[in-house]
Amino acid sequence: MEQPYVIGIDIGGQTAKSGVVNARGEVLAQTIMVSNKHTDAESFVDALASTIKKLIADADIEGQVRGIGVGAPNGNYYTGEIKDAPNLSWAHEKDVPFAKMLSEAMGGLAVSLTNDANAAAVGEMTYGAAKGLKHFIMITLGTGVGSGIVIDGQVLYGHDGFAGELGHTCAVRGGRLCGCGKQGCLEAYCSAIGVARTAVEWLDQHPDEPSLLRLRENITSKDVYEAAKAGDQAAKEVFDYTGTLLGRSFADFIAFSAPEAIVLFGGLARAKEFLYDPIFAAMNDNVLPLWKNKVKLLFSSLSESDAAILGASALAWNL
Amino acid sequence: MEQPYVIGIDIGGQTAKSGVVNARGEVLAQTIMVSNKHTDAESFVDALASTIKKLIADADIEGQVRGIGVGAPNGNYYTGEIKDAPNLSWAHEKDVPFAKMLSEAMGGLAVSLTNDANAAAVGEMTYGAAKGLKHFIMITLGTGVGSGIVIDGQVLYGHDGFAGELGHTCAVRGGRLCGCGKQGCLEAYCSAIGVARTAVEWLDQHPDEPSLLRLRENITSKDVYEAAKAGDQAAKEVFDYTGTLLGRSFADFIAFSAPEAIVLFGGLARAKEFLYDPIFAAMNDNVLPLWKNKVKLLFSSLSESDAAILGASALAWNL
């Protein structure tokens, strides 16, 4: 008998990763395409469909694919739409009926869509650091700051499917302008871009302090990480500040859903050695006494692309 | 055949209200006792049990009571304990096995316990302003600020039973000391006591501005309400400030669970005429565009004691 497969897709601001997943949750083949060159949804969906068709052909599994699961910023599980995602060049300031469009481009194959952070939470719960946990909050630290909230083993979607936008809760009242149009969002400080902005601000505010970062023209979060690893004090202070803001926010999130753990995921989560201590301290300084030192702070144990692809693929098995 | 009844009890910082409820959700008789004179849990439970026994005897329903449902600050649905409730004189700085103690004092009658705000949320969902809603957040504005979060028709308890402590999320970073020991909690600003503190601060900061409140020795939130009704500008500014802080916090709560509505309840919610506009404005100024003007702001339609008694009683039917 022929084995069944699903396709899991993780769409981010820079790239879209697709993978073939078998029933045991193994990613058998994967591919990557850039996602920030398209200015309209039609051309992006067409390019993605071509990529997936090639992936299926190369894996020699035509006719055995059950469905496609997609995780994307502002992806709505209920409606299959991507709603005005500031980080996606082709879905900015409009609603895109993404699941329907991709299904049509794939000859009618069933497509299920959710928020990228929700997909990562499902992946992490099924295969990663959150295995066995029923109440946790997944925070994705990437281009943006996303979240997937799991309650009693289920992703929280809320009334309209958009629950879990914790990157757009307020971290600094009246603070930096965020890509969403609001001021002071957690995302404006604790995303990869936010960390780079903090580094630039730090250098401006400390003109007499030396730092390896002064040698860089356009500072990225990766530069900050590498400088911190090389012992740069400025870079370490940038991570301290980032971690403190994250920990303070996590304390408020804990008061909401009383999770067993906060799970960190995404590119910036690789800086665990510099982020863990300030996050843990700020989180425990700001929770009610009943939660002090009781909520775990975990870092994803899955490779970044695997978690999101696996999480998205889990949706497809239910189609 | 004899009709079945349950007892619903609402325990607050100042009073404990008990009511006899029938299967149609009608409060047939109720009684009130002070709750802030007791310094140990044993004497409080004994006094409460005597009150309930008298209520049952007066209603002539001995032998027909199925069980007792209790809503109390920091009441834990899972364990039946009241855990270190700062607003209860007899449960401060310790854990009280309340459900077990009350059951024993009532000759073995089954007792179910939950947080007072959760009880109010259930009451409001079953009989009040939240009827028909499946996703809402109940905010209780009383001695403290409590919350009950309803997701898909179910109260959110979280991993440990303490989910929904939104009164202790941060409203003002580094702000006023709260009864819980933290700084800047929403409760320190938007509870009845918080409103009174804001009024005192306002008068200190505006020594040359006239206000009816200057005639008061110990300002209460009721004084502020009455002054605002009499047209006092200072009192109105106190409510504007309170409403703005509430609205900002609600925007962050919406990003968490994407509810259909925020429902306000409790003594201070009676000041709807002064609170609605600043809350609504601040809430919509601080949510993501996708939620702007979409989340309802409702005020409880039940009498305060009824909602909590009815909500607590709903627990007892499931015993």
User: Where exactly are the structural domains of chain A?
Assistant: 5-122+305-317, 130-301
The pLDDT of residue A88 is above 90: no
Query: Per-residue pLDDT averaged across A190-194, rounded?
Result: 97
pLDDT at site A298:
97
Topology alike, domains B5-122+305-317 and B131-301: yes
Tell me which of A211 and A89 has the higher pLDDT.
A211
Measured CA to CA, the distance from residue A101 to residue A32 in angstroms comes to: 20
**Looking at the domain that runs over A130-301, which CATH code has it been given?**
3.30.420.40
pLDDT at site B305:
64
Q: Which residues of B touch A169 (CB under 8 A)?
A: 251-252, 255-256
Query: Per-residue pLDDT averaged across A106-119, rounded?
Result: 94
Residues of chain B with pLDDT under 70: 1, 304-305, 319
CA distance B139 to chain A (A): 12
Q: Check if the beta carbon of residue A16 is closer than 8 Å to that of residue A61.
A: no
Claim: this prediction has a pTM higher than 0.90: yes
Measured CA to CA, the distance from residue B110 to residue B69 in angstroms comes to: 9
Length in residues, chain B: 319
pLDDT at site A319:
67
* Closest by Cα among A241, A178, A170 to A205: A241
CA A176 remoteness from chain centre: 21
CA distance B93 to chain A (A): 10
Can you name the CATH fold of B131-301? Nucleotidyltransferase; domain 5 (3.30.420)
Query: Per-residue pLDDT averaged across A59-71, rounded?
Result: 95
The pLDDT of residue A301 is above 90: no
Which of A252, A287, A292, A295 should we substitute to test contact with B (largest number of B Cβ atoms within 10 Å)?
A: A252
Answer yes or no: do B256 and A290 touch at CB < 8 A.
no
> Taking a contact as any Cβ pair under 8 Å apart, which residues of chain A between 186 and 245 contact chain B?
none
| Beta bridge partner(s), residue A139 | A147, A264
Query: Per-residue pLDDT averaged across A45-73, rounded?
Result: 95
* B292 CB within 8 Å of a chain A CB: no
Tell me which of A176 and A95 has the higher pLDDT.
A176
pLDDT at site B301:
77
Tokens of B241: 């400030």
pLDDT at site B112:
94
Measured CA to CA, the distance from residue B118 to residue B147 in angstroms comes to: 7
Q: Check if the beta carbon of residue A10 is closer than 8 Å to that of residue A32.
A: no
CATH of B5-122+305-317, one of 1.10.3720.10, 3.30.420.40, 3.40.50.720, 3.40.50.620: 3.30.420.40
Q: Check if the beta carbon of residue B176 is closer than 8 Å to that of residue B198.
A: no
Q: Across the interface, which of B161, B170, B288 has its CB nearest the CB of A180?
A: B288
Measured CA to CA, the distance from residue A99 to residue B250 in angstroms comes to: 31
Which of A290, A291, A292, A295 should we substitute to test contact with B (largest number of B Cβ atoms within 10 Å)?
A: A290
Summary mean pLDDT of chain A = 93
Answer yes or no: do B166 and A255 touch at CB < 8 A.
yes
Answer yes or no: do B257 and A134 touch at CB < 8 A.
no
| DSSP β-ladder status, B154-155 and B145-151 | antiparallel
Measured CA to CA, the distance from residue B151 to residue B133 in angstroms comes to: 9
Q: Which residues of A touch B259 (CB under 8 A)?
A: 158-159
Measured CA to CA, the distance from residue B68 to residue A82 in angstroms comes to: 47
Query: Per-residue pLDDT averaged across A179-185, rounded?
Result: 95
Tokens of B197: 């503190």
Radius of gyration of chain B (CA): 20
Q: How confident is the model at residue A94 (pLDDT cuts 50, 70, 90)?
A: confident
CA B228 remoteness from chain centre: 23
* Closest by Cα among B117, B118, B100 to B109: B100
Tell me which of A15 and B190 has the higher pLDDT.
B190
Q: Which residues of B touch A244 (CB under 8 A)?
A: none
pLDDT at site B107:
95
* A257 CB within 8 Å of a chain B CB: yes
CA distance A152 to chain B (A): 8
pLDDT at site A1:
59
* A95 CB within 8 Å of a chain B CB: no
pLDDT at site B141:
95
Query: Per-residue pLDDT averaged across A227-250, rounded?
Result: 98
The answer to which of A160-169, A307-316, B171-180 has the lowest mean pLDDT is A307-316
Answer yes or no: do B158 and A259 touch at CB < 8 A.
yes
Measured CA to CA, the distance from residue A269 to residue B288 in angstroms comes to: 25
pLDDT at site A76:
94
User: What is the phi/psi pair of residue A210, to 5°?
Assistant: -75, 155
pLDDT at site B315:
85
Length in residues, chain A: 319
pLDDT at site B22:
93
Query: Per-residue pLDDT averaged across A112-125, rounded?
Result: 91
Measured CA to CA, the distance from residue B143 to residue B145 in angstroms comes to: 7
The pLDDT of residue A23 is above 70: yes
User: Which residue's entry shows tokens 């941060």?
Assistant: B170
User: Which residue's entry shows tokens 């299926």?
Assistant: A56
Chains A & B: contacts with CB separation below 8 Å? 113
* B171 CB within 8 Å of a chain A CB: no
